[in-house]
Amino acid sequence: MNPPIITLLTDFGLRDGYVASMKGVILAICPDAKLVDISHLIAPRDARSGAYVLYTSYGFFPQGTIHLAVIDPGVGTERGAIAIRTSSYFFVGPDNGLFSFVLKEPGCETRRLENRQFWKCQLSNTFHGRDIFAPVAAHIARGANFDVLGPSCDPVLAQWGEPIVGKGAVEGEVIHIDHFGNAIINVMRETLEKQGPAEKWTIRAGKTVIDSIRATYGRVAAGKELALTGSSGFIEIAINHGNAASELGLRPGTRVTFQLSKS
Amino acid sequence: MNPPIITLLTDFGLRDGYVASMKGVILAICPDAKLVDISHLIAPRDARSGAYVLYTSYGFFPQGTIHLAVIDPGVGTERGAIAIRTSSYFFVGPDNGLFSFVLKEPGCETRRLENRQFWKCQLSNTFHGRDIFAPVAAHIARGANFDVLGPSCDPVLAQWGEPIVGKGAVEGEVIHIDHFGNAIINVMRETLEKQGPAEKWTIRAGKTVIDSIRATYGRVAAGKELALTGSSGFIEIAINHGNAASELGLRPGTRVTFQLSKS
Amino acid sequence: MNPPIITLLTDFGLRDGYVASMKGVILAICPDAKLVDISHLIAPRDARSGAYVLYTSYGFFPQGTIHLAVIDPGVGTERGAIAIRTSSYFFVGPDNGLFSFVLKEPGCETRRLENRQFWKCQLSNTFHGRDIFAPVAAHIARGANFDVLGPSCDPVLAQWGEPIVGKGAVEGEVIHIDHFGNAIINVMRETLEKQGPAEKWTIRAGKTVIDSIRATYGRVAAGKELALTGSSGFIEIAINHGNAASELGLRPGTRVTFQLSKS
């Protein structure tokens, strides 16, 4: 049998021992777990960006993978802690919208983590990633019964999870700036194509106007902005061989509108 | 039997092949070793910060874990190379104070690495992490006898390892700035509580005066500074939803004084 | 038998899900693969820097390791995709000079990746790392026959792969700035020593003149620049306890000349 895989996504950064503490806790419970980092450089407290990065990567992992995601500005307050089971995966983390894109999958089940048997014995006020989420993920990896983690519940769905879709017009927002400065928008190509072909939509973001959605980077001159479909299906604004976010002044939350041309 | 775990902590950064070279060397000696990064973004040459990050994470790993730590400004000079055995773990690295917090554990044994049988055959002048420390850690993982690594020795203990404790007054320093800009101080909550409850101590760091030590981040308004006990027991200065280090001008080495109020 | 090792080197950064997607794809094909990051912080699109970092680390891994390297500014254009077999290792990535240093090994065989049986079924235009290179590496790890990956071909060799060597004079360039600000030059100590001892060469880079190549960092005063042989045999310019690149204005591509003194 293959060893269980646990992925980790946080905004903890890479300078400290926070992520390693979680890994130590996991390995102490489930020594054969295979640990794979998704990212620990999500912008601090930005569940939106974390949700996007998780969405772009979780589906490539083998069936049964446990995805542990901790972007948790509400730690120590009343926000809930949850585990989700989909047809292929498990997810563990705070109940703050971080799993909004995951929860679009049909047949998700959500449990509110209340069974302290799966937590670390000593609980800190500031680090539930280490004390609740990591041990719960490790116990799932060891085969703990999902149903005993806690009672069923309705998870939080974030506002930025869906764009506003009108007739010939879609309004979304930038949800992530990637390493290359590409600005990813919470609008999928298929959302646009339900109304008309991608190349007939005009995109506006601040002062930037782009009159088509293209297939790949190489199709415009170096230094020129373009819109294209990213590798996960979301529309992104890029500059060929450049940094769109800094050059065009885009950041998470920037409003972006799409308009379908009539001709 | 579970595979041996080796953690890695360095100031080598993530842009180069330095860390990967160490991992290659380890896997060539001990192919089933499980490698876990603690951090490679410790500030260059800051053994103090490395000691803190190691301290916050090493104890969460399973018994028998080997912790390899290389912050080594003295490489190529006369500084010693050591391995330490505690009741639960092994540590390998330069003898420059990096293990000062670890060495507070009772019953530590230290060996000066002199047995070249466990080193890489070809030795560079600039990279003992790859040529001495990594192979020694890998040989320990394969079961090498600790006692033959070299002779017993007294390891270096750093000055910043302990604050100055007076009656109703404690003087320490910032030892680490974490990813969120929290400034961690080399004073543990329990050191303060021996003299009086945490909320009765006033903290001064530069122009900042904080009149109590609180339990969690959420208890002050967003943007306001506070002192709290971090997840590892050290006192830290934070700004709720902000960056204390940059906003208050704190950095490693900043003096911090604690005073017990009389009422 | 030991599990297969796959290393990963990219310019994808650590903020996104790009690297994790590749890892997921690999583990879905070859669940027991051991994944080791070399670096994901290579300067965007800088195959030269990637080639250097790969060169400094690949040879420390056990025989049979598969090195997956993706710095791929030409993705979506006509650049080729290749796999290389040396006497000890496999390499997989774009055919853009990234393997120029590797290809100095005698007896390399190169295949142009054309057999779509080893690719991901659905192919994106922008992410061949995930859709071609990762699955090919995973299939090699599972034992796929190298010869059926595609036809033999002659790989691209980059101009920066070799310095210009004259009588008593060598002209090279900075190929990488490491985490400590050391500037690595595409000239190996052995290239110089064929003509005269290292300490008899004078190095010029911009306004900086250094009159000898030394053995280690500690031999000049703190804050002073020096030239030394790095741990991989290339000459580098450093500042003892300082940052040579920023203080001396060195960056990838900076011309560097070496002159042999006559006395």
- Tell me what pLDDT residue C263 has: 66
Question: Chain A residues with CB-CB distance to C under 8 A?
Answer: 2-3, 5, 7, 14, 34, 36-42, 53-62, 65, 176, 178-180, 215-218, 228, 230-231, 241
Show residues of chain A in contact with B3, CB under 8 Å.
31-32
- Tell me what pLDDT residue B77 has: 78
Interchain contact, B17 vs C56, CB within 8 Å: yes
d(CA A21, nearest CA chain B) in Å? 5
What is the percent of chain B with per-residue pLDDT over 70, rounded to a whole number? 98
The torsion angles phi and psi of A129, rounded to 5 degrees, stand at -55, -45
Q: Which of A154-168, A202-216, B25-39, C212-226 is predicted with the least confidence, judged by mean pLDDT?
A: C212-226
d(CA C117, nearest CA chain B) in Å? 30
pLDDT band at C241 (very low <50, low <70, confident <90, very high): confident
Kindly tell me if the per-residue pLDDT of C217 is higher than 80.
no
Kindly tell me if the per-residue pLDDT of A44 is higher than 70.
yes
d(CA A115, nearest CA chain C) in Å? 30
Residue C7 has its nearest CB partner, among B16, B20, B127, at: B20
- Tell me what pLDDT residue B219 has: 67
Show residues of chain A in contact with B65, CB under 8 Å.
24
d(CA B62, nearest CA chain A) in Å? 5
Residue of B nearest to A122 (CA): B231
Interchain contact, C15 vs A231, CB within 8 Å: no
Show residues of chain A in contact with B179, CB under 8 Å.
12-16, 18, 44
Residues 6+ apart with CB under 8 A from A176: A48, A49, A52, A53, A183, A184, A252, C16
CA geometry: angle C121, C122, C127, nearest 5 deg: 115
Q: Which two tokens stand for residue A20?
A: 């390693």
Interchain contact, A17 vs B36, CB within 8 Å: no
Residues 6+ apart with CB under 8 A from A14: A40, A41, B14, B39, B40, B41, B179, C14
Interchain contact, B27 vs C7, CB within 8 Å: no
Kindly tell me if the per-residue pLDDT of B47 is higher than 60.
yes
d(CA A193, nearest CA chain B) in Å? 40
Interchain contact, C38 vs B25, CB within 8 Å: no
Residue of B nearest to C222 (CA): B73
- Tell me what pLDDT residue A126 has: 75
Kindly tell me if the per-residue pLDDT of A219 is higher than 80.
no
pLDDT band at A217 (very low <50, low <70, confident <90, very high): low
| CA pair distance C29, C13, nearest whole angstrom | 24
Of the two residues B106 and B262, the one the predictor is more confident about is B106
Residue of B nearest to A123 (CA): B231
Interchain contact, C2 vs B32, CB within 8 Å: yes
Interchain contact, A179 vs C31, CB within 8 Å: no
Kindly tell me if the per-residue pLDDT of C218 is higher than 60.
no
Kindly tell me if the per-residue pLDDT of C110 is higher than 70.
yes
Spatial contact of A41 and B59, defined as CB atoms under 8 Å apart:
no
- Tell me what pLDDT residue B78 has: 84
Q: Which of A35, A180, A184, A220 to mutate to test the interface with C (most CBs of C within 10 A)?
A: A180
- Tell me what pLDDT residue B26 has: 98
Interchain contact, A126 vs B42, CB within 8 Å: no
What is the percent of chain B with per-residue pLDDT over 90, rounded to a whole number? 79
The whole-chain average pLDDT of chain C stands at: 93
Tens-digit pLDDT profile for residues C35-53:
999 999 999 889 999 999 9
d(CA A125, nearest CA chain B) in Å? 6
What is the percent of chain A with per-residue pLDDT over 90, rounded to a whole number? 80
CA distances from A72 to A45, B57, B182, C16, C226 (A): 6, 20, 16, 18, 47
- Tell me what pLDDT residue A121 has: 80
Tens-digit pLDDT profile for residues C163-205:
999 999 999 999 999 998 999 999 999 999 999 998 899 999 9
Of the two residues A87 and A219, the one the predictor is more confident about is A87
- Tell me what pLDDT residue A218 has: 58
Interchain contact, B24 vs C61, CB within 8 Å: yes
The whole-chain average pLDDT of chain A stands at: 93
Kindly tell me if the per-residue pLDDT of B263 is higher than 70.
no
DSSP letters, chain A, are -PPPEEEEEES--SSSSHHHHHHHHHHHH-TTPEEEEEES-SPTT-HHHHHHHHHHHGGGSPTT-EEEEE--TTTTTT--EEEEE-SS-EEEEESSSTTTTGGGSTT-EEEE---GGGS-SS--SS-HIIIIIHHHHHHHHTT--GGGSS-B------GGGS-EEETTEEEEEEEEE-TT--EEEEEEHHHHHTTS-GGGEEEEETTEEE--EES-GGGS-TT-EEEEE-TTSEEEEEETTS-HHHHHT--TT-EEEEEE---
Show residues of chain A in contact with B57, CB under 8 Å.
17-18, 20-21, 24
Residue of B nearest to A127 (CA): B231
> Where are the extended beta strands (E) located within B11-135?
34-39, 66-70, 81-85, 90-94, 109-112
Tens-digit pLDDT profile for residues B66-117:
999 999 988 877 889 999 999 999 999 999 999 999 999 999 999 999 999 9
Kindly tell me if the per-residue pLDDT of A203 is higher than 60.
yes
Q: Which of C7, C19, C38 to mutate to test the interface with B (most CBs of B within 10 A)?
A: C38
pLDDT band at C215 (very low <50, low <70, confident <90, very high): low
Residue C179 has its nearest CB partner, among B12, B20, B126, at: B12
Residues 6+ apart with CB under 8 A from B158: B47, B48, B51, B96, B97, B100
- Structure pTM? 0.94
| CA pair distance C234, C231, nearest whole angstrom | 8
pLDDT band at A238 (very low <50, low <70, confident <90, very high): very high
Question: Chain C residues with CB-CB distance to A under 8 A?
Answer: 12-18, 20-25, 27-28, 31-32, 35, 44-45, 73-77, 124-127, 130
Interchain contact, A21 vs B60, CB within 8 Å: yes
Report the amino acid identity of residue A170: V
- Tell me what pLDDT residue B248 has: 96
- Tell me what pLDDT residue B233 has: 87
Q: Which of B15, B46, B96, B131 to mutate to test the interface with C (most CBs of C within 10 A)?
A: B15
Give the mean model confidence (pLDDT) for residues B209-228: 81
- Tell me what pLDDT residue C230 has: 84
Interchain contact, A179 vs C15, CB within 8 Å: yes
Q: Which of C32-36, C138-142, C208-212 is predicted with the least confidence, judged by mean pLDDT?
A: C208-212
> Where are the extended beta strands (E) located within chain C?
5-10, 34-39, 66-70, 81-85, 90-94, 109-112, 164-166, 169-177, 183-188, 201-205, 208-210, 213-214, 225-229, 234-239, 255-260
Tokens 């790009």 appear where? C18
Cα Rg of chain C (Å, integer)? 20
Residue of C nearest to A64 (CA): C28
d(CA B100, nearest CA chain A) in Å? 17
Of the two residues C187 and C214, the one the predictor is more confident about is C187
- Tell me what pLDDT residue A232 has: 82
| CA pair distance C186, B139, nearest whole angstrom | 34
Tens-digit pLDDT profile for residues B243-253:
999 999 999 99
Spatial contact of A232 and A247, defined as CB atoms under 8 Å apart:
no
Show residues of chain C in contact with B76, CB under 8 Å.
215-218
Question: Chain A residues with CB-CB distance to B under 8 A?
Answer: 12-18, 20-25, 27-28, 31-32, 35, 44-45, 73-77, 124-127, 130
- Tell me what pLDDT residue C231 has: 78
Show residues of chain B in contact with A31, CB under 8 Å.
2-3, 62
Kindly tell me if the per-residue pLDDT of A200 is higher than 80.
yes
Give the mean model confidence (pLDDT) for residues A68-81: 89
